[in-house]
Structure 1
């Protein structure tokens, strides 16, 4: 009777290089960063509300999710809440005072929405777009766009206005009053919901003696990051915008 043939062991074939690379922890980590970066750059981005200029719609410290695709093939419209990168007409961006720690915290804030955001990124409400004519006020103290009064139930603590005693014809004039202006091409007029406490596009026009032709500040179309879609944090303020 023949003996049992011993089991012959064979060395396993080495895995292809591409499988060794794609199966590594470092590859998964890098891929995750690439995916997150792509989402933040092209789809959605968290943003930390830095001030009270949008109270009570948004509170300081709220974290909102910004839809970066909202205006692909379309344009912002009156009433939209928009995040945009402000240019030098809105004042210093504050980045010159950033030390190493603040720079790191700002980067973390840009990525996560927790901590400081961009050096001069603002969130305001769109009042009018290119070619539209804006003025204030009608007899009831309402903002006019192309001669039509806006319904703005979101306004919190507007400037005082009383027809006949403190309006656009009295002395002194109500600070709510603004000179008529046509929004330039590629630009948007942004105001805060906390109208009397917002450093917005019309702030300089409310000061006596300012030049009505040059007092306005605009958000430019290519500076718009996206449309604020939802409040993410704190949890008890979860809501769509």
Structure 2
């Protein structure tokens, strides 16, 4: 008795598809999956923008050194190529800045903003575009970002100087091989003095304090001690010159430009001597 196949042919015989039929089927499947590049390009751009925004928000971003205050550690002078540094944020997701860290922070008060001018365009449309690209890290943020080294943290008392002209924290002199001084220490000569017009600074002076750093704040100083308007120059603001930790944008970890200066930005705790 003959049986019939599913398609009605006797003997249960089912004809096999030829190789040509299979290859044509595969080609049809591939043709259905492929899209023109112009259709895929917007999707790729959106994915790249989202990744860039996530990196800038949670991991880190480059910054340009704006002044001479951190020389020779970081260059920012008018006659040289300003260093570009990479500032990472992850470290401070799990803890606060520590003494010796080089940090980038947003100015905490109007006292720090003297002489700062926004880089944004006066044209509303262009400014909107700049703000949009800033979200993705392609344009610098519209804020006064500064870079200094953490010298003391909340609860500590900082002042200058001992007989050798060294900064003291809780009465102990600091070991600061990164600090650069142009003028020798002159006992009794203050770096900053409060006046009716504000704070007057003397680059040749070193003495300041004592100042107790409030909890949740930092005392910061530039490595170029005679040419850095740091915490010492803002002792008349509401934070007595200190910087709230919440204003810190991240930790400087690497110099990425120029090529001749590529290398790590090292943290060195000056309180461990």
Q: Is the TM value for this pair above 0.5?
A: yes
2:93 aligns to what?
Answer: 72
CA deviation map 1:121-171 (0-9, x unaligned): 00000011110111111111100011111111111235531xxxx30389x
Change over 3 Å in CA distance of 1:118–1:235 after alignment to 2:
farther
> Structure 2 vs 1, CA of residues 31 and 194 (structure 1 numbering), >3 Å: closer, same or farther?
same
Does the 8 Å CA contact 2:189/2:205 hold for their aligned counterparts? no
Alpha-carbon spacing, 1:204–1:180, altered in 2? closer, same or farther (3 Å): same
Structure 2 counterpart of 1:185, from 199, 205, 215: 215
CA distances 1:56-92 after superposition (whole Å, capped 9, x unpaired): 1000110000011111221111111000111224125
Aligned-partner SS, 1:32:
helix
Considering only CA atoms, is the larger Rg found in Structure 1 or Structure 2?
A: 2
Deviates more, 1:121-130 or 1:213-222: 213-222
Alignment of 1:57 with 2:73, yes or no, is: yes
* TM, length-normalised to structure 1: 0.77
The equivalent of 1:4 in structure 2 is: none
- Residue matched to 2:113: 91
Q: How much has 1:48 moved relative to structure 2?
A: 0.5
What's 1:111 paired with? 137
Call closer, same or farther: CA 1:117–1:237 in 2, change over 3 Å.
farther
CA distance in 1, matches of 2:259, 2:230: 28
8 Å CA contact retained: 1:94, 1:119: no
Distance of 1:96 and 1:218 partners within structure 2: 26
- Distance (Å, rounded) in 1 between the aligned partners of 2:220 and 2:182: 15
Contact 2:165 2:206 in 1 (8 A): yes
What secondary structure is seen at the aligned counterpart in 1 of 2:93? Answer: coil
Deviation at 1:37, TM superposition (A): 1.3
Once residues 177 and 201 of structure 1 are traced to their aligned partners in structure 2, the CA distance between those partners, rounded to angstroms, is 13
- Paired residue for 1:146? 170
Structure 1 match to 2:63: 47
Q: Give the C-alpha shift of residue 179 in structure 1.
A: 1.5
Q: Is the 8 A contact 1:191 1:201 kept in 2?
A: yes
Partner of residue 15, structure 2? none
- Give the counterpart of 1:24 among 28, 37, 40: 40
Secondary structure of the residue aligned to 2:53 is helix
CA contact (8 A) 2:189 2:206 kept: no
Alpha carbons of structure 1 residues 102 and 149: separation in structure 2 relative to 1, 3 Å: farther
Root-mean-square deviation over aligned CA pairs: 3.6
Q: TM-score, normalised by structure 2?
A: 0.69
Query: Conserved in 2, the CA contact under 8 Å of 1:47 and 1:110?
Result: no
